[in-house]
Structure 1
């Protein structure tokens, strides 16, 4: 099923979404009118205090894109530049916009009998931007979105666009309201539904994608002649009906605004949803997926049924043995979106059975297993991605890496090789070899290169691979330096790790000469037994190495080197226990 068809189908199952012709918008204020069109009150609808006030979300007649120089107002609501002709931004041409709002509503509302709509028409006839003054009109109202209400209905939260007469009128004019003269929509066969009907010339903006324009961006759009063909204009080049365009955009915006259906993977704003005959089963699948990759663990989920099942999955128990209803009969969809100027880029799109996704996730967990494990247990995917970024900042994650990795995780295919090069580059740059980076390197070695024996979960003293042994040797040499000199500003890892992992033949002879100096100093110090312990480790590793050090190590071998280093260096718990035992014996 295509992306648009899947989203249009999801719309029919979503609760509390706007009906056809409406959209959910941020509304800041309501203007209450008397029947003669005079203003009874102006009410702030925002929640919060001070500069942190948040507009209220409200279903209103649908908004649409307003490119070009011709101002086009929304029906029965808009920002203060259109409704009142006032704005806090100079050069916004507020008077021209207010004229467009007034003239369009005059034309549509002429001859209506509904008291509320007649009151709005009278208000517009008598309004002038010069009347905007405190205390009735607060300055913080400028550029906020406004709606109207009759004063007697405002306290019941009934607004002008909610009145039956307004809804009936909107259902008649909605298709024509947003059209530009000379660019009226035509009819044709919808690519999504296959039905014949009015074709959407422009599609609603998609809002909430990280890094995209705040006003929204498009998935489907044709705005230049170079992209058009056979004389078609805009949306006629990829005909999607008004109803289907509304459904897919509304569903996608709802998912992007809901943390239960949205996670951030690098620069990809990722939404997901399930399709099942039982709504509760679909919700359970969505909760599972959210728990797999969520940025912040939900304490309620972690402590509840989903958290318990998730823990069992991570221990290798198949989903069919945990939640049989989720293993079969649940179709799952995952869509990754990233900003691309005024449009959106599809980072990845996946449609599969949820049971297969669960199996691929379990395989990912197995690939990433490392001892000692990360301090936080099972970190979210963004924490791993942060390890590939300069300064650990999300915005510095290499482009496309997040999407490619997410696709590999969900499909069970090999991980992107750029991940291997990026992790090794970050290790050489900052000298940090932690559980997250070691886990990624092991996963790449296991899945991409089938080196399970050479990439163990924990320290393997029987592993004879030269690269793995060299990493262990480097870690043991660094531990000897710690015993001899204590904490230093620049350890051998800071000075020599990059060169040692790439060209061991040039560096290790020097390190072994330094080691002899460190060993002599350590044995003469206050921890001679600990020095002897690490000296034995070094000797045991050296015995297994070939007679000559390799001249160079490939990226693959550099990954093994880092893994060996991590396993050897972070057996610190055993080393610390030994150190305490030796100190007690000395006393």
Structure 2
């Protein structure tokens, strides 16, 4: 089905030129029809980042792995000029150049009406390469583009026609049959004539093939070639052209240091706001509108029982590379309405409160993936995606994409990893809380109805103990701050880092106990109960009796929470750890929201 969708896309969008692909060229061989001396010119120029890069052109190309296979009109230095380097073998370079010259000769013989082909043939026949001055440090695999009178020869109609026949001779198995992709009878391929540039395929060491059976171990009945995977010439080329076009387009998402890239396209007219809520770059207003439709029942899945199935489809492929082969890591082909419904549920399941926002926040895939890495305390940010030692799973992008588009649970490994990073970094913020909430609401064993904000009706011991821990932190902070700073019973100077920050504290309660409390809360609760007595006594002794009311508020809050707990567990499983962290985060976000509200009358 993937190959069929790619071929359909190529035909519908008129993608690509048959048996061509884009590649970079750093040299240009200038020939003249008037007899001027040939010249090899460097064509590197500054790119958008100011670095020198070659020019990119769509040129004739077929797949070549270890064998010698010349491309027409533009190729590597070793083919076009016969020059090797320290990494090449002289005999192979000579063979490459000999085959390229022979290909040029056949093109000229088959195109007597084209004077350009004759100019190129005469250049090689007269030993023109020997008259060129070889630049220093030129590599054998750098690209060379041939031009006559300033016009690249790849634009000649005769070259395009000859190249199609040449590919048929090289790649054809000499048989006709029914194509597995299009279902029509045609000349079948022995090997696919083309591949995908390695720059588009994460993990690929070389240009990668989508379909390849070049060794017996890969083929049915230990055979090589596409005998048991019949694909016609035009489908074989169209699927490569379509995939290259898609991976180079705007609907492709790939993060650094990840094992895959995802590209997607639609068949038919997408619903309103569909493009704006894709997880790679969501628009907050569009997300809000889609969530409103989900919650009022106006958004639902497509009717799969209808007699006429909807033709509007969503297609996406996530792929990576393994040496010279493409690895399909995920393939989706579903109704557009189902994908929009899944996306709405995804945002609804991970939306969460923060210390700074008045309403729960939804996040894009980039923010969530970034939050799975290490927290850099010195720079007050997460380690960049390409940083060494960021401790970010190489498959997190793919896991989040599958969760958002397929409406499946997060893999348990993601929950374990995020909890480990929270405990190690001592940081819980909006994106990490969103990941924990998503994991709980889609728990594979038992879904946990975790709300986006503080749930005062939740009496689960893990959740309540997280809230208690936040209250202990708040009490310590108020006990060690100056009364003149406007103490209001809230940790107003604490960031989203899971630890109270106060100038008078070298190591606060959170610094000492937070990491351990996530897995085993009992020592932290025992210590908190003991230490809170001293903190409250310090607050009560404030001059003028200003601390008495605050002590009453704290005691009441603690009593109400502790009364909901029986025996304090000695060990939390991962789901309970997530509830503890979210209880802690929700309590702090609630306190911050209360602090932002204007105080009047007795509240002030």
Q: What is the TM-score normalised by the length of structure 1?
A: 0.82
Written as runs of structure 1 = structure 2, the 5 A alignment for 1:393-412 is 394=385, 396-412=391-407
- The CA RMSD over aligned residues, in Å, is 3.6
Q: 2:561 aligns with which of 541, 549, 568?
A: 541
1:206 alignment counterpart: 196
2:512 alignment counterpart: 495
| Aligned-partner Cα distance in 2 for 1:231–1:441 | 47
Q: By how many angstroms is 1:436 displaced?
A: 1.2
**Are residue 292 (structure 1) and residue 289 (structure 2) matched?**
no
**Are residue 147 (structure 1) and residue 142 (structure 2) matched?**
no
Tell me if structure 2 keeps the 8 A contact 1:32–1:41.
yes
Q: 2:185 aligns with which of 184, 196, 207?
A: 196
1:82 alignment counterpart: 79
**Are residue 514 (structure 1) and residue 531 (structure 2) matched?**
yes
| Aligned-partner Cα distance in 1 for 2:473–2:88 | 64
Q: 1:221 aligns with which of 212, 226, 236?
A: 212
2:363 alignment counterpart: 379
| Aligned-partner Cα distance in 2 for 1:130–1:492 | 79
**Whose helix proportion is higher, 1 or 2?**
1
Tell me if structure 2 keeps the 8 A contact 1:333–1:350.
yes
| Aligned-partner Cα distance in 2 for 1:319–1:101 | 67
Distance 1:366 1:308, change over 3 A: closer
2:489 alignment counterpart: none
1:338 alignment counterpart: 320
1:35 alignment counterpart: 33
Distance 1:319 1:121, change over 3 A: farther
Q: By how many angstroms is 1:240 displaced?
A: 1.9
1:170 alignment counterpart: 163
**Are residue 424 (structure 1) and residue 401 (structure 2) matched?**
no
Q: 1:268 aligns with which of 260, 264, 279?
A: 260
Q: By how many angstroms is 1:192 displaced?
A: 1.2
1:560 alignment counterpart: 579
| Aligned-partner Cα distance in 2 for 1:331–1:319 | 24
Distance 1:471 1:4, change over 3 A: same
2:496 alignment counterpart: none
* 3-state DSSP of counterpart to 1:234: coil
| Aligned-partner Cα distance in 1 for 2:521–2:536 | 21
Kindly provide the CA deviation profile for residues 186-208 of structure 1, in whole angstroms up to 9, marking residues without a partner as x: 44432212233333333322234
| Aligned-partner Cα distance in 2 for 1:19–1:230 | 34
Distance 1:150 1:210, change over 3 A: closer
Q: 2:249 aligns with which of 238, 255, 258?
A: 258
Q: By how many angstroms is 1:75 displaced?
A: 0.9
Is the deviation greater in 418-427 or in 327-336?
327-336
Tell me if structure 2 keeps the 8 A contact 1:34–1:150.
yes
Tell me if structure 1 keeps the 8 A contact 2:261–2:319.
yes
2:485 alignment counterpart: none
Kindly provide the CA deviation profile for residues 425-457 of structure 1, in whole angstroms up to 9, marking residues without a partner as x: 2222212111112112222222333332xx222
| Aligned-partner Cα distance in 2 for 1:196–1:328 | 29
Q: By how many angstroms is 1:42 displaced?
A: 5.0
| Aligned-partner Cα distance in 2 for 1:122–1:197 | 37
Instruction: In structure 2, list runs of 5 or more residues that go unmatched.
Output: 303-308, 376-382, 481-501
**Are residue 436 (structure 1) and residue 427 (structure 2) matched?**
no
Distance 1:256 1:569, change over 3 A: same
| Aligned-partner Cα distance in 1 for 2:599–2:182 | 72
Q: By how many angstroms is 1:323 displaced?
A: 14
Q: By how many angstroms is 1:121 displaced?
A: 0.6
| Aligned-partner Cα distance in 2 for 1:33–1:262 | 42
1:91 alignment counterpart: 88
Tell me if structure 2 keeps the 8 A contact 1:222–1:237.
no
| Aligned-partner Cα distance in 2 for 1:525–1:176 | 94
How many residues are treated as equivalent by the alignment?
Answer: 550
| Aligned-partner Cα distance in 2 for 1:332–1:242 | 27
| Aligned-partner Cα distance in 2 for 1:202–1:219 | 11
**Are residue 55 (structure 1) and residue 54 (structure 2) matched?**
yes
Q: By how many angstroms is 1:560 displaced?
A: 1.2
| Aligned-partner Cα distance in 1 for 2:535–2:50 | 60
| Aligned-partner Cα distance in 1 for 2:153–2:296 | 51
Tell me if structure 1 keeps the 8 A contact 2:301–2:338.
no
Q: By how many angstroms is 1:173 displaced?
A: 2.0
| Aligned-partner Cα distance in 2 for 1:255–1:196 | 27
Tell me if structure 2 keeps the 8 A contact 1:30–1:146.
yes
Tell me if structure 2 keeps the 8 A contact 1:530–1:579.
no
1:20 alignment counterpart: 18
Q: What is the TM-score normalised by the length of structure 2?
A: 0.80
* 3-state DSSP of counterpart to 2:251: coil
Distance 1:484 1:216, change over 3 A: farther
Q: 1:483 aligns with which of 463, 474, 478?
A: 478
1:353 alignment counterpart: 335
Tell me if structure 1 keeps the 8 A contact 2:343–2:405.
yes
1:109 alignment counterpart: 108
Is the deviation greater in 204-213 or in 468-477?
204-213
Tell me if structure 2 keeps the 8 A contact 1:313–1:319.
no
